[in-house]
Structure 1
Amino acid sequence: MGHGLKHYGVCSEEVKRACPVELALHLIGGKWKGIIIDILSEKSFRFNELKGLIPGISQRILTLQLRELESDGIVKRTVSDTVPPRVEYFLTKEGNDLSFIINSLRVWGQNYISKSESEY
Structure 2
Amino acid sequence: MNKVIATLLAAALVVPFAAEAQPVQRHDRAEQARYNQHDRGDRHDRRPQATSPRQQHQIHRFARGDRFDRNRAANYRRLDHRQVRRLSAPGRNQMWVRSGNDALLVSLRNNTVQRIVPNIF
- The TM-score normalised by the length of structure 2 is 0.25
Q: Which is higher, the Rg of structure 1 or of structure 2?
A: 2
Give TM-score scaled by structure 1 length. 0.26
**Higher relative contact order (Cα pairs below 8 Å, separated by 6+ residues):** 1
